[in-house]
Structure 1
Amino acid sequence: MITMDQYEYIRTAHRVYEKSIRQIQKETGHSRVTIRKVLQGEFPEYKRRSTQAYPVLEKHRETIWNWLKEDRENPKKQRHTARRIYTRLVEEEGYTGSEVTVRRHVRQVKAKEGMDTSGAFLILEPECGKEADWGEALAIVQGIRTPFHFFCMRPRFSGKPFVRAYPCEKQQAFFDAHVHAFDFFGGVFPTLVYDNLKSAVEKVLTGRNRIEQDAFRRLKAYYSFEARFCNPGSANEKGGKA
C-alpha cells in the first residue's frame, strides 16, 4: 500500500517539478497505474500519527533549527526558504532524504515557534511590464558584516532580473539604477510597477492615485514609461518578487 509521504511526493514531483510518470516510476518503484491513480486524486485511507517520525532527518533537525534562528537577524529576503534548507542539507550535510520531508518539518517548526507569518494571496495575470523594488542584504566586506541595498528590476514574463547594489536608497541611486537597468535590457518597457517608494511618490492618495515626485516625473517623461503603484502594504499585487 502506498503511504501518505509517497502520495504527497508523487503529486508534488509531477505537478510542481513537472516530472514525468516514467521518471517518478524509476524514483519510487511504483507502477504507472498506481502513479496515475495518485495523480487523479485517489489516495489510501490512513491514520494521522500523533507525532511525526523523521528517521533520516533526525540528526539534521538541530542544524535546521540553528539556521532558522539565525534568520531572525537577517533581512526577510535573505532568509532560508524550505527549498534552500533542503539544498544546503544535501550539499553541506550529506542529507539523503526527500525534500518533502524537509518542507514538512520546516513548516511545523515555523508554526510552532511563531515564525510563519505569511499570508495567502492570488497572483493575477501579469501585464507586459517590469517590476522594480529595493531590497536589503548582508555581505562580508573585508571581514565585516555589512548591510547594503540592492535595486532589482525584473520583466514579468521572462523573470530575468537586473540587480545593482548601493550603499543607500536615495533618489540619486534610484535614478542611476534605472539608467543601468534600461541599458541592461536594451530598452524601456511601457509600464513599471512599484511599491510606494519615497523616491517616486510624494503622497499616497485614495485608491491607486499618487502625487509623484517632480524628479521622478521627469525621469518618466525622458524615458516615456508609465508608473503603476501597489496599494499600501500589498507588494504581492506585483505578481512576483523583485
Structure 2
Amino acid sequence: MVNCRKILELYFEGVSQRTISSSTGHSRNTVSEVVQRSKKLHLENLNDTMTNQWLEELLFPEKQAIEKGYFPVDWEKVHKELQKKNVTLTLLHHEYAAEARETGKIPYAYRTFAEKYGKYAKKYKLTMPIRRKPGEIIEVDWAGSTLEIIDRSSGEILPAYIFTATLPYSQFSYVEAFLDMKSANWLTAHINAFEYFGGVSETLVPDNLKTGVTKTLRDELLLNEAYRELADFYHTVIVPTRVRKPKDKPSVEGTVGYISRQIIASLRNYQCFHIEDLNRQIFKKLEEINTIDFQKRPGSRKKVFEEEEKSYLQQLPQTRYKLTEWKTAKVQLNYHIQVELMYYSVPYDYVRESVDVRLTTDLIEVYFNEARIASHKRLKGEMGQFSTNTDHMPDNHRLYLEHNPDNNRKWAEEVGPYMTQFVSYILEMNVEKKALTILSSLRNLSTKYTQKELEKATQTLLEIATNPTVSVLKGILKRKKKKTQNRKIDIDNHQTNNDNYGFVRGAEYFGRVNK
C-alpha cells in the first residue's frame, strides 16, 4: 500500500521527490504520480481527517474497481461531464456499461455506480480552510434580504438594501442600509466602511455585480470606471469573484447569513420612516455583533481587529474621496449631450460621437478618447435646463446668439453717439424681433463702411428725417460715397492737368530747345 499521506506531508514541507523516495521506500515514479494527482485535485494542505486510506481512495479511485475485477471508472471525467447541459448520471452509467462490455469487463450496477460517484463528489467538493493574513482583504456584498421603510407622505413601503463589508481575518464587519443599489450608494458604502475600519485593505473582493463590474470577459473583467477610480484613490486592488462562486468570498457570505439572522430578522417588525433612523438601529445591532465574544475562541471581532489587524491596514488619505459616476452619451445635432434630463454643450466637431461623462456632486466632465473636451458646473433643479459654452458653437450660431438688444447697444456705442441714438430709436419703435431684424441689416453696413462714415451718415439722417430708417441711411451712405469718389476723380484729373500744363505743347514741339 502506498503511503500517500507521508509522501504529501514531506512534499508540502518542501522536501525533494528524490529524498521522499528514499525516505518512504517508494519508487520515484510512485512519488511523482502521488504529487501530480494531488495537484490535479488542488490538494494543497492536509488535516487530521485525511488518513492514508482516505487519500488513496481520493487519488487512486480506479484501484478500488481493479482489485475486485470491475471495469474502472474515471470519476473525474464523470464529474466534469455531469456539469454539461442535459447530461445525467444515468446516461453516463449507460456509456460506462457499454464500454465495459466491449472490453470484456464487468460494469458496476447503476446503484453501485451512483453510490461510488456520491462518495467521490463528496471528497471532490471538500473545501480547505484558508487562514487570511491580517489587513489583506475586505470582502463586500449586498445582502439578499431587505428591510422596509414607510414613506410618510404616501404610506408606500420601500425596500432598504443592506450592504456588508467584512475583514476575513478578524471577522470584523460593517453594515449599512440604502434605498437602492446604484453606483453612488455602492461607492458611498465603501467609503463609510473604510472610515469605520479606520483604514483600507490591500484587496477588495466584490461580487460580479453591475455597479462594480461593467463587463465580464473570458480572461478579464472590465471594472466600472467610478469603482476603479475609488480603488486608485485608496491605493487598493479590486479582485471580483468568479461568476457564481460564493466560496471566493466565504467570510462575507457567512456574515450576510449571520446578519440576516441577527439584524434583519430582529428588525423585521420595526416601523421606520427614514433611512437614518433605520441605520441607527442597524449600528446598535452591529456594535453588539462586533463586541460579543466568540463561542469557540477567545476574544471578540472588535478585540481581534484592534489588537491584531488594524495596524496592518493602509492609512486613509487626508481628504475624503469625492463621489464620481461615469456614463456614456451621444452628442446630438445641437452639439449638446443629455445627462439626467439636463443638457450640456461640447465642441460642435464631436456631433454624433459617443463620449464618456464623469459626474461629481458639482461638476460634469466630458471625455473623448480619454481626452477632456468640455466641463460644466452641474445643473440642479428643474429638468430640461441647458448649459452652453459659446466657444462650442459654430461661428454662425454664435453670431445669432449674440444678436440681442444689449449687444447691439454696445456696438452702437463703439460707433458713436448718433448711432447709439438711432439704435435706441429702432428698439423703442419696434417689437424686439422686428427690431433685431432691422438691426441685423444695419450692422451689415459695417462690412462696407467705416465707423466714421456710419457715424457721419447717421448724424445726417437724424438731422433731415423725422422718421429715420435704415433704407434712408443706406441712400445717404451711397450718395456720400459717390460724392467722395467724384471728388477724388476731380482731384486726380486736376493734378494730371497741372503736371502736363494743360494743352500747352511746350518748347520742344516748336523746336526752340537749345542744342
Which gives a bigger RCO, structure 1 or 2 (Cα 8 Å, sep 6+)? Answer: 1
Larger Rg, first or second structure (1 or 2): 2
TM (normalized to structure 2)? 0.22
